[in-house]
Structure 1
Amino acid sequence: MVFEGGLAASRSYWALVQSAVAARATTVVYDRSGLGRSPRDPGARTLGRMAGDLADLLGHLGPGPFLLVGHSWGGPLVRLTAAAAPERIAGVVLADPTDESCDLLLEPSMRRQERIGQLVSSGLAHVGLLAHAYREVLAALPSDAAADMREEGFTVRAMRTRAAELVSVVADLTALRESPPHLADVPVTVISAGRTSVGMNARVRELATASHAHRAARYPRGRHVIGPQADHMMPVTGPDVIAAEILRLIDGAAGAEESG
């Protein structure tokens, strides 16, 4: 299992899910370039480039098969990676993913919201207060993961990486609309959060969930699930529902091997 985070999310964000499934398979969390302990990438941080980085990681890990888990912006990232070599992918879990079928994501209002969020986050990082805004997330994590996130996840450097990843969002979403990643016979579970959160009011939540249902329906082995107690910060607020879907796919892959 390899886990991919959303914008500016380091490896530590997955601690609760990782610990819940680690007994069943090898788990790998990592930091994208410019996050956590990974060096900055001087190139453009497009979705395709980040998917290429993930593919390189998988190449170092061996032939697979792999189960890829992506949250938020990590959702389309793992879809691209899986579509490049579906024969080595045993399954994909998308946790409240960004999806190009949601028209709201391409509206000017979303760009304004992104700019405001980036300015506020960068300002708080400069004065050392950004971690305070995520105190509930930090409180929910195991102490070691919380300590790593507190030290690495709320820095000016991390916010610069976030800004770099935001630059090509519109172009990346447009490209996905024009050429959606094809996952052949790969089982895909799309999980929607059931609760609103900061930046995702009831209207946004409804549109996001509709886009998730649309995506799941496009895959021959697609499945759409609602995490009723989770908000968009699902790896922390809904780790159980993510873990349950991961284990379901592991059991399915094991059953297929036995029948084969």
Structure 2
Amino acid sequence: MQERHCRRTTGTAPTRDGRALFYTEFAPPTGDGPATVVLESGLAASRSYWALVQQAVAASARVVAYDRSGLGRSAPDPRPRRLQRLADDLGDLLDHLGAGPFVLVGHSWGGLVVRLAAARRPERTAGLVLLDPTDESCDLLLDPSMRRLEKAGAVAGRVLARTGLLPLLFRKVTTALPPQAAAEMRAEAFTVGAMRTHRAEQASVGADLRALRDNPPELGGIPVTVVSATRRTPGMSARAREAINAAHAYRARQSPAGRHVLAPRADHIVPVTDPATVVTEIERLLGPVPDTP
């Protein structure tokens, strides 16, 4: 779907402590649709990589993608970026957008953010779509070796950002995006400031996962679709892919309306590498779109 077929606007949503969260909103030509779809990114990722999904879903529903604090065009946060803090910010964005209902779509670390936000206000959540999500049930993700890899990656990211080389690692992503989104990503997503936010979001990953394992959010009857990548991201072993997808299957089984989907063309960056599967699963939760009189 091309952007000209829908209405694109931008705005900012205030948080409870006065920060501003920047968002883009696409609305279908015939109205807002059955629910508002809100897209939550992975660790240190901006709104831009959702462009293919956002524009396609906007044929039938209002779709919002936003930048978390310190990313893209959103104001930084002076406080620690714990998972609960991220869920607070998402809740504030939803309050700003209206009463709902909302279909919340979370990629990677964003899967945990939307689960927490949905558990706090289940009455306004029509469904969740979790895209290759981080899941506390995966023992591998709690291994200390993962924290070492994360720290090494963060150091490398800061060095590459300072030298201007970081965008080269993501050419596959930016090449796949529409021109405007690609330009915005190149300008905003690979800065030293973004890498600072990456470090802040990453600092409590292990502690947050352990806290969720001890006290998982209760989703009740909210429909949950979990989409797993099937292609390995560079550096990921076959064993890791198998363990992560097993955790995804487990997460889907925890919902009475759970669904586990294997995305045939996706590596971890599912919104870019297999947007068609993502759009199909979002539209499944939205339900049939009424005919225009």
After TM superposition, is the score higher than 0.5? yes
Match of 2:187 among 151, 154, 174: 151
* Residues 218-229 of structure 1: pairs in structure 2 closer than 5 A: 218-229=254-265
Structure 2 alignment gaps of length 5 or more: 1-36
Give the root-mean-square deviation of aligned CA atoms: 1.0
Query: d(CA) in 1 for partners of 2:149 and 2:207?
Result: 17
Match of 1:65 among 90, 101, 105: 101
Query: d(CA) in 2 for partners of 1:89 and 1:28?
Result: 15
* Residues 103-252 of structure 1: pairs in structure 2 closer than 5 A: 103-251=139-287
Query: d(CA) in 2 for partners of 1:100 and 1:59?
Result: 27
> Shift of the alpha carbon at 1:244?
0.4
Residue identity opposite 1:151 in structure 2: A
TM-score by length of 2: 0.85
**Which fold has the larger relative contact order, with Cα–Cα distance below 8 Å and residues 6 or more apart in sequence?**
1
Hey, what does 1:258 align to over in structure 2? none
Hey, what does 1:99 align to over in structure 2? 135
Residue identity opposite 2:245 in structure 1: T
Residue identity opposite 2:59 in structure 1: A
> Which has the larger helix fraction?
1
Residue identity opposite 2:176 in structure 1: A
Hey, what does 2:73 align to over in structure 1? 37
Hey, what does 2:83 align to over in structure 1? 47
Query: d(CA) in 2 for partners of 1:5 and 1:23?
Result: 21
Residue identity opposite 1:180 in structure 2: P
**C-alpha deviations, 1:54-109, integer Å up to 9, x for none?**
00000011110000000000000000000000010011000000000000111111
Residue identity opposite 1:103 in structure 2: D
Query: d(CA) in 2 for partners of 1:198 and 1:116?
Result: 15
Hey, what does 1:76 align to over in structure 2? 112
Number of equivalences = 254
TM-score by length of 1: 0.96
Residue identity opposite 1:240 in structure 2: A
Question: Percent of counterpart pairs with the same letter?
Answer: 61
> Which has the larger strand fraction?
2
Consecutive aligned runs of 4 or more in structure 1 exceeding 2 Å deviation = none
Query: d(CA) in 2 for partners of 1:199 and 1:82?
Result: 32
> Shift of the alpha carbon at 1:199?
3.2
Hey, what does 2:8 align to over in structure 1? none
**C-alpha deviations, 1:114-169, integer Å up to 9, x for none?**
01111111110010010011001000000000000000000000000000001111
* Residues 9-20 of structure 1: pairs in structure 2 closer than 5 A: 9-20=45-56
